[in-house]
Chains A and B, each alone.
Chain A
Amino acid sequence: MERNPIRRQLAIMRQSLFDQGHVDEQFVQLEELQDDANPNFVEEVVTLYYRDSARIILNIEQALERKPFDFGKLDAYMHQFKGSSSSIGAKKVKAESTLFRECCKSGNGEGCMRSFQQLKKEYATLRKKFGAYFQLARQAGPVETASRPK
């Protein structure tokens, strides 16, 4: 158990990311790639993710404004988005992407809209959580090793 109160808080935050299903095992892979040579690796990758995925979300939004829906295109965009999300272990976001794609495949426009709204919610929530987490992490300073969630 961390004696340092900031580190303790950080550990709690981190655990809740897993417990609440926001991130999965892949996130641990990111943490394991963080070391002295790459002390901010996780934050860097997550930042890249939000940058990349913002573009895709915009594309999807624009595509959803065009009727009738081009389900093929929507699916392709979401496929990209899903790949991106899974590379950082964004579990809930990824799950919602899957639902969206299923709606695309069955030509369910309403379902797509609903799913996309939900996805954006999860995406924003996760971003907030990451924001708080990394801010605290920077305060805490470098940590020795990543540990697996209990």
Chain B
Amino acid sequence: MLEGKQNGHVFKLPKVILLAKNITNVELEKAKAAGFADTVIMKPMRASMAAACLQQVLGIGKKRQAGKDMLNGSPVLQGLLCGKKILVVDDNMAHQRVFAGALKKFGAAVECRESGKAALKLLQLPCCFYACFMDIQMPEMDGFEATHPIRMMESKANEQMNGGMDEDSGRKGEWHVPILAMTADVIHATYDECLKCRMDGCVEAL
């Protein structure tokens, strides 16, 4: 299990996952080709799906299984999320509550925020979140806009830590909080946007 350390030496987890809807096969293939998303999760978000997506995106263990509820209560997923700090950012309160509730059932410690701005405050470095699920369609500041400054911050911190390329290559420190984006329209979302702001994956929303 990949773990991030809290003492300033990094997550090696470059993952922001987009939660999206109506993904077409073309879009999905594009995403995969871009090394962007291996998996698509249906929204409304089910914790089992989210955990499976996260798992896949983190490169841990098994492949995502087909079928909606096969992963419910799976011990592997329980292990993945148990005790982990997850941030859920969604301006849709009902959905936020459902998703957070589901993650909590898997043992995650969930924080919720309703806006990108509020989320940014929590995602300042050093970041203690294992992953962040972010709605990319929020007023004021959407998921893309929120992810961008986070990545900027991380790049800066990483540069400072690594002091360039000639550091010993064994331990390249890398801040990168997994941000998984949620949206209902992959078509609108476009993988270009995702790539641009360095989000880590696509999750499909109903």
Contacts and interface: CB of A to CB of B under 8 A. Distances in A.
B1 interface: no
Given A29-B46, A33-B102, A38-B101, A45 B94 contact: yes
A87 B98 contact: yes
Interface string A21-48: 0000110011001000010010011101
Interface stretch (A12-20, A78-86, A118-126): A78-86
A30 B92 contact: no
A88 interface: yes
Given A80-B137, A87-B44, A48 B97 contact: yes
A45 B43 contact: no
Contacts of B137: 79-80
Contacts of A94: 206
A48 B94 CA distance: 5
Interface in B72-104: 92-95, 97-99, 101-102
Contacts of A69: none
Given A45-B98, A88-B98, A83 B93 contact: no
A30 to B, nearest CB: 6
A29 B48 CA distance: 11
B44 A86 contact: yes
A33 B101 contact: yes
Contacts of B205: 83, 86
Contacts of B99: 87
A79 B138 CA distance: 12
Given A29-B46, A33-B102, A51 B185 contact: no
